[in-house]
Amino acid sequence: MPRILGFPPVAGPNSRVMILGSMPGAASLAAGEYYAHPRNAFWPVLGRLLEMDPAAPYADRIQVLLREGLAVWDVLKSCKREGSLDSSIQAGSLMVNDFSAFLRGYPLVRNICFNGTTAETLFRKRVAQGLGPMLEGVGLFRLPSTSPAHASLSLARKTEMWRGVLTPLLA
C-alpha cells in the first residue's frame, strides 16, 4: 500500500478560521490542489458562501479564502491508503500535521471547522490532547463532509449547514 503525503497549509496572516479535512484524495493529489475532485462540493459550497466562482483558477480561489480569513489544511501529514476513501486509510500508518507550530504561526486562528466526521475524529483522538492549553478558547465545529462519498445531503443543504457555522465565525 503506498504512503501518501498531504499538502502544506493554505493560510495567511489574517486567517481566523481553519477548515480541516482528513487527507487529500487521489484527484487532489494528482492535481496538487485541495478539493480537486470534480464532484467534491467544497468549492461550490464556498463559492456560494463567499460569492466566488468555484470554477475560477485555483490560485484565484485560494486568494479569496485568504482574503476572507480562511485557512485550509488536513489533519494527516501522511498515511498509507489505496484510493481516496477515508475508510481505506491504514490505521497504523497515520502521521499527523504539526498543529502546535501552525497555531503559533497563525495566532488569529480561533476556530477550527472539520470537513466531515473523519477529520474531527482524527483531530480529537490524535491531536487535541497534545495541544493542551493552545486549544483553550478555540471553537471546534464539525461540518458535513463535502466529499462525493457523502452524498446523502444535497448541495443546497450542505451550503446551508456550512453557512450556519462559517458566517458568524467570519463576521
Domain span at residue 65 reads 3-170
What is the C-alpha to C-alpha distance for residues 59 and 139, in angstroms, rounded to an integer?
28
Q: What is the pLDDT at residue 83?
A: 81
Task: Check whether 162 has a pLDDT greater than 90.
Answer: yes
The rounded Cα 22 to chain-centroid distance in angstroms is: 7
Q: What is the pLDDT at residue 82?
A: 84
Q: What is the pLDDT of residues 59-115, one digit of tens each?
A: 999 999 999 999 999 999 999 988 877 777 888 999 999 999 999 999 999 999 999
Structural domain count, the chain? 1
Which residue in this structure is represented by grid cell 499538502?
7
Contact 155, 46 (CB under 8 A): no
Dihedral Cα 148, 124, 133, 18, nearest 10 deg = 0
Q: What is the pLDDT of residues 20-64, one digit of tens each?
A: 999 999 999 999 999 999 999 999 999 999 999 999 999 999 999
CATH number, domain of 157, equals: 3.40.470.10
Contact 157, 43 (CB under 8 A): no
Q: Smallest Cα–Cα separation from 147: which of 31, 39, 44, 23? A: 39
Q: What is the pLDDT at residue 1?
A: 78
Residues tagged active-site: 40
Residue 154 CB-density burial (10 A; 0-12 exposed, 13-18 middle, 19+ buried): exposed
> Helix H segments across the chain?
26-31, 42-50, 58-67, 99-105, 117-126, 128-131, 155-170
Q: What is the pLDDT of residues 99-144, one digit of tens each?
A: 999 999 999 999 999 999 999 999 999 999 999 999 999 999 999 9
Which residue in this structure is represented by grid cell 501518501?
4
